[in-house]
């Protein structure tokens, strides 16, 4: 690294570089990479976590958008036959191309806060080739991902991610662990795609519609928020009280409502 001037974090890329050795080691212990595994790191930055991932003997692909970091990363890790740098935007990257012979990828990333949600859904859409994901995110986002019905942070994001994945809030990370220090706390989350969906929806796109409508006015009751989609009798028929607020309904309940809507639409089409 001595051949390169210090890289200044770029605001437009949402860069906050991790430098706390204790936190880095804790992340590596949580991921626990092993020889023979195939890891993908999103936004390796200056390689704080990259070094530990690579030293495990695992195959490592990294995806980095900032072209100023490419020579630095190649200088540090390019000598390793296990290391491959992909220059580009993770939001547009086809992760399936890296999974050969039916192998599952393990994905790691300190995600820029401004793209974390769309990037998670981009990865979830390719979950058939993903074993697990370990992400550094804004703490409030992790709380939203992990929250269950009736909890303060419960809402649309958590429901839709929990539909696809088991969510574990592993530990929090203070702002001082980064340079520059962000204005918010961070946290590490583990997302493990379900081998079998615990509550399969007949039409996942309709589940998204139902959840979005329900939480558009989260202080109102299901009877009111879902009125454009389902009447009170239909809600009751799925074992739910129409006077409940959306944050009181668990994932299984929303799936039942979405499946009800699917059946109603199919019946209308046949008339």
Pair 1, 75: CB distance under 8 Å: yes
- pLDDT at residue 257, rounded to an integer: 98
- pLDDT at residue 15, rounded to an integer: 52
Q: d(Cα 224, Cα 221) in Å, to the nearest integer?
A: 5
Among 93, 170, 186, residue whose Cα is nearest residue 132: 170
For the ranges 8-22, 138-152, 176-190, 235-249, which has the lowest average pLDDT? 8-22
CATH classification of 204-270 is 1.10.8.100, yes or no? yes
pLDDT tens sequence across 203-220: 999 999 999 999 998 789
For the chain, where do the domains classified as CATH 3.40.50.150 start and end? 11-193
CATH number belonging to the domain at 11-193, selected among 3.40.50.12780, 3.90.226.10, 3.40.50.150, 3.30.70.920: 3.40.50.150
Please report, for residues 56, 119, 245, the alpha-carbon distance to residue 248 in angstroms, rounded to integers and kept in the order given: 44, 28, 6
Average pLDDT, the chain: 91
Helix (H, G, I), strand (E, B), or coil: what is residue 65? Answer: coil
DSSP 242-267: TTS-GGGS-HHHHHHHHHHHHHHHHH
Pair 50, 60: CB distance under 8 Å: yes
């Amino acid at each position: 690294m001595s051949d390169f001037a210090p890289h200044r974090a770029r605001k437009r890329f949402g860069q906050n570089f991790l430098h706390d050795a204790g936190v880095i080691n804790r992340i590596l212990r949580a991921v626990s990479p092993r020889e023979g595994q195939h890891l993908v790191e999103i936004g390796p930055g200056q390689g704080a976590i990259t070094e530990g991932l690579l030293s495990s003997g695992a195959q490592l692909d990294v995806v980095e958008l900032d072209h100023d970091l490419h020579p630095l990363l190649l200088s540090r890790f390019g000598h390793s036959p296990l290391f491959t740098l992909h220059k580009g935007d993770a939001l547009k990257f086809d992760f399936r191309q890296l999974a050969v012979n039916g192998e599952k990828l393990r994905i790691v990333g300190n995600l820029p806060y401004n793209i974390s949600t769309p990037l998670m859904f981009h990865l979830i859409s390719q979950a058939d080739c993903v074993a697990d994901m370990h992400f550094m995110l804004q703490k409030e986002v992790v709380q939203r991902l992990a929250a269950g019905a009736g909890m303060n942070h419960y809402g649309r994001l958590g429901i839709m991610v929990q539909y696809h994945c088991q969510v574990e809030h592993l530990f929090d990370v203070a702002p001082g662990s980064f340079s520059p220090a962000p204005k918010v706390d961070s946290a590490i989350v583990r997302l493990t795609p379900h081998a079998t969906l615990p509550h399969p929806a007949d039409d996942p796109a309709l589940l998204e519609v139902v959840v979005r409508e329900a939480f558009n006015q989260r202080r109102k009751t299901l009877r009111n928020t879902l009125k454009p989609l389902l009447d009170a009798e239909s809600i009751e028929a799925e074992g739910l009280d129409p006077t409940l607020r959306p944050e009181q309904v668990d994932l299984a309940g929303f799936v039942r409502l979405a499946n009800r809507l699917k059946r109603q639409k199919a019946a209308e089409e046949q008339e």
